[in-house]
Amino acid sequence: MDSILDRFGLDGAIWLLASSLVILLVFLFLSLIFNKLIFPIIIRLTNWTPSDLDTRITRSLKIPLTVGIIILGCYLSLTIPLDLSSSQQNLVNAITSLISLFIGIVAVGSAAGNIFKWYEETIAPKTSTNLDQRLVPLLHRICIALIYALGGLLILDHLNVNISPLIAGLGLGGLSVALALQPTLANLFAGTYVMTEGAVTPGDYIQLEGGVEGYVMDVSWRSTRLQTWTNNMVVIPNSKFAETIITNFQKPAPPVNIYLTCGVSYDSDLYIVEKVCHEVMSAILDQDSNAVKEYGGWFGFESFGESNVNFWVFLQAKDRIASFLLQTTVMQNLHSRFREEGITINYPVRSLQLPFLRISGTDIAFSPERYLPVIEPSAFNICFGDPEKTICPPCSPAPGPMSII
């Protein structure tokens, strides 16, 4: 056997190949032991901690570590037994370092992704707002993109590629894209502000400065959607939404106060009026589920009006929809009790005095500014004051509506 190997010169080559194969098999065996024995022990140790974050990170590193052990075995199987030339050694080193760099980038990206997923699944649902559920996925995608982008630049630099022009080009390209997407970016940053502010959340009933009002359906990165009373959807860009004045009827709490004003005649007994209002509010607070009983009912006289003594009643409804129903109930019950008690709510009274003129013995009320331009002075005399002291010749009445006194 040895003579055959000596004849063909294979004794040394076979020994070297066998040595390389043995080293590779040893590291394959080590990777198998790590995968099947050591790694499960590490996972069980991480399960003892109160948080499962370390377990998630450890699981994300399983494949990169296993592949890393195999790559190390391949590198040692080539460099230890074989007598490589300088150029061959440099080539093996370059390939091994490149693969190791790629595995490291994948490991970092996988670990970062698991950290974000852990936060989304564990922490975000426990927060009081849905801001985390909206913001964290975006940060997750941005972080992963940055990791792989920087990793790609490191790989290019490792391949002796000059990345300075590439970075400069990316900077100019990013500036051009930012200018082109300025409205979109404005909406994006405004959406971030709206969501982080927490002043508006889905389900709130809001009213904008321009008169648009409705229920908030969704607050996204680009726009905010409202559902109006007419069951229509209004889409508002976040850049405009962040600059307008917003009235939120759900904040700081869902209950809505009802301030109702009314007036009774001066002949009414104000003490009886106050008693009736308190009785009506007490009955509503006890029987109507739309009212907040703990808040109570409030009454007060406000002012002496032209025809009535004005007063107000003050209650609180459980939400905005209930406020409309509660206000209707208060008005109906007050009106009914006032009629039973003989309390009068006067109509507005106005006294109107007009100048007059006499035409052919008839006093006619008119507006001088309207009729003077169409009256010929030679035809008749316009009489202000006492009509008995002026004699007016007969004539036709001026055009336009007139009222006979």
Q: Domain locations in the chain?
A: 2-170, 199-248, 256-341, 356-404
pLDDT value of position 129: 63
* DSSP SS3 for 379: coil
Q: Look-up: residue for tokens 């004699």?
A: 391
Instruction: Determine the Cα–Cα distance for residues 186 and 189; give it in Å rounded to an integer.
Output: 5
Residue 70: partners with Cβ closer than 8 Å, 6 or more residues away: 27, 28, 31
CATH top class, domain 256-341: alpha beta
pLDDT value of position 385: 46
Two structure tokens written together for 260: 């109702």
pTM of the shown model: 0.50
C-beta separation of 225 from 216 below 8 A: yes
Question: 89-101 in b/e burial notation, b at 16+ Cβ within 10 A?
Answer: eeebeeebeeebe
Q: Which residues of the chain have pLDDT under 50?
A: 1-10, 365-387, 389-405
pLDDT value of position 239: 77
Instruction: Determine the Cα–Cα distance for residues 216 and 238; give it in Å rounded to an integer.
Output: 13
Nearest C-alpha neighbor of 236 from the set 257, 204, 213, 254 = 213
The pLDDT tens digits of the residues spanning 223-243 come to: 888 988 888 898 888 777 777
pLDDT value of position 279: 93
Q: What is the CATH number of domain 199-248?
A: 2.30.30.60
